[in-house]
């Protein structure tokens, strides 16, 4: 395996239902770990991170 690397990226994210409500109640600047998957945006030009869980 190769060396460990740190990567920073900005991308659009999507959360639905209770996840969206829970994320909206979190303090700005706090640290979270998200689990989900990457999918194509509707126009197919960008990538969207679909949030399935966070803690």
Q: Read off the pLDDT of residues 6-55 as tens digits, 9 standing for 90 and up.
A: 988 899 999 999 999 999 999 998 999 999 999 998 887 889 999 999 99
User: Sheet harboring 34-40: ordered strands across?
Assistant: 12-14, 47-54, 34-40
Q: Can you give the pLDDT at residue 14?
A: 94
Residues 6+ apart with CB under 8 A from 33: 54, 55
Q: For the whole model, what pTM was predicted?
A: 0.75
Name the residue ranges covered by the structural domains of the chain: 12-54
pLDDT band (50, 70, 90) for residue 3: very high
Q: Can you give the pLDDT at residue 26?
A: 93
Q: Can you give the pLDDT at residue 50?
A: 96
């Amino acid at each position: 395996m190769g060396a460990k690397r740190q990567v920073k990226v900005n991308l659009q994210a999507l959360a639905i239902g209770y996840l969206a409500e829970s994320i909206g109640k979190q303090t700005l600047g706090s640290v979270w770990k998200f689990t989900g998957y990457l999918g194509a945006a509707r126009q197919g030009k960008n990538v969207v991170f679909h949030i399935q869980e966070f803690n």
